[in-house]
Structure 1
Amino acid sequence: MNIHEYQAKELFASYGIPIKAFRLVTEPGQLAQAAQELGGETIVKAQVLTGGRGKAGGVKYAKTAEEAVKYGQDILNLTIKGFPVEKIILTEAADIKKEFYAGFITNRGTRAVTLMLSKAGGMDIEDLAVNSPEEILKIDFFARTGPDEDLYEAALKDIFRTQTHIAQARDILDKLYRLFLEKDCSLTEINPLSIVDDDTLVAIDAKMSFDDNALFRHPEIQALENPEESSQDEKDAREAGLSFVSLDGDIGCIVNGAGLAMATLDLIKLAGGEPANFLDVGGSSNPNKVVSALKIIISNPNVKAILINIFGGITRCDDIAKGLLMAREQIQLDLPLVIRLVGTNQDEGRALLEKAGLQAFDGLSESVEKVVALATSEGGRQ
């Protein structure tokens, strides 16, 4: 789960990480008061869950309150990478002397949390990571032992140089790491972490992402979820206990097992089709999950055909068949279905489907080619 900059800054402040004062604005009528409360020069920033705000015109420097109001009105009318701007913040401007990058991220390869540091912070950090990766220092923090202290100190000296800034950076990064661990984050990022006019380090921007699987431990974080973070079908799937990600294609997919689901999406792409979703019904033999899955998929108006790919182990093929037949009784299935049913109780499952006039296939490639053909030629709602 991702959150907005203003939400991340509030969490930063609660952990003692220095930020500049800001005001949240959700409608034009709040702009004048926010600008007056801050006084002087401000930065007006769009709050959208995507990068590239500055290049899209979503970040403006205002010398006066009047300029802040004008820029705020303009930004509230923007759409950035498909996200309409519904919130902005006005934040105190700072005389930035030097910009750095600092962030913690989960590193599955090293089974650690990796600290990334760079002398070159700001808008082009993504380009730096691609074109000059050697300019980003990486240090692993292990849950039980922490970082290698010699490497950590050497990195801080290399990046921040003066003893004053090294000490400030150490304090900020220690707090950022504690925030990362205590809130079950997958990313905490400060870009830029800047030396400002009074020679102190301040988090000018803030970005945080959280492990969805740990949100049950943090209702206060779950409460920060933004409507644009998840589509309605993703919310419905979560409530139904389904692993689901909405995609841009027109072939609905119901699969058991995340690995098989990923392979199915790859095969659909290879055959020239476009998957509309990732959906893993899991290993349980619960017919109601199939009903929920089909309801979610047919709610997407872009879907032209549906592929059901079941390789039964723990999942029983006859229960999947029962779920399909239940769905036909409860909802109007006016989309072509391609069903692959292999594994535990496949004969029983196929017999149920055949009795209802439905055919199940053996081969995955055959099933994928058929559903792609249906979606591209004769697929669609009847």
Structure 2
Amino acid sequence: MLALAACTAPALAADGEDDGPVTATLGGRLHLDFASFDNDPRGTPNKDDTEIRRAWVDVSGRFFAVDYKLEADFSGDRVEAKDVYVSRGFGNAGKLTVGQFKQYYSLDDRTSSNYGPLLERGNAATTLAPLYRLGASWQANPGDFTWAASIYSLESIDAWQVKGRAAGGRVTWAPAPQAGDVLHLGLSLAREAYDNPGANGVPALRIRPRPAGHLSDESRLTLVSFADGRDTDVDKWSLEYAQVRGPWSWQGEFSGATFDDGAQRGNVMAGYGLVSWFVTGETRAYDRKTGRFARIKDIHHTAGAFELALRYDQMRGAQHLDGQPDLRRGNTEAWTLGGNWYLRDNLRFMLNLIESRNRDRLAGATVDRTRAVTGRLQFDF
């Protein structure tokens, strides 16, 4: 926190000098969450709980020839760095970014948590997306297309124990999008090489989604696990589709990943479908320059806007030693019904009802069934 303050102090002094060589804008978000669970008798029950899910503060602006952003999350036991980078645009050719930034992977993950219609992203975005990594990227927005490519370390500022290197990118196409009329198609790819997961203090590489929300740790099912210390290669992909028609929008993604450490292989497949309806007539906003959904605009009523959303989300995984039958095979699925009340475009209350189920497909048995009511009070600036 002291380092962030020290870095941002000179810039803050220049706040408001839009034509000067140094500018700064202060921003942030606060997400206050709760969860109440109806657990079945199998396994350890999830506990009802509350949490400060996100308490982010950021400073962004221009420092002479480059743009910058410094962002940190103060919600946990220690301060965690998010976006910490410098960038520079080169006209129509694109923009270069260097530092720690969120990688370019999937519509679900690239859409800010401030603007998603449900509290949680889908299983693929929460387990496969590379999130914030140290690296360099080039982004461009030619016409109806966006594309971004990056090379990055598997380390981050706060997770230096994870070792390895990777490359990835995303391309989207949205022909002449306008308010209330959007068609979006996209493709994300990533190739990651992990060094010695599970050995010499390096965390294991596991895919373990939380089907009933962020606080449902006891409902996690391990779909693949690589923890024997062998270098592991991972290939990831995601196909994106979304449309907006007036107050209605719908989107879906089909994602997957393969894992190989030379002695065993694993694969996961995931997909979701989501539909959203603004009962009060507003429409989901779309940012054509970045190929993702954005902040709601033009709330129609003084009492605010109200949105309903429904999603079905499934993820399955399998793992086997080379030439042997599966030693692990399972799947997790969840239905989520959500309601959002936007008091203002930057202030909303969210409520989700979740029905989730985990199955061990080798045993042919359901190993967990959990229902949850989750909610959030959210403010951003």
Normalised by the length of structure 2, the TM-score is: 0.25
Write 1 or 2 for the structure with the bigger share of helix: 1
Compare CA radii of gyration and give the structure with the larger one.
Answer: 1
Using CA pairs below 8 Å that are at least 6 residues apart, which structure has the higher relative contact order?
2
Write 1 or 2 for the structure with the bigger share of strand: 2
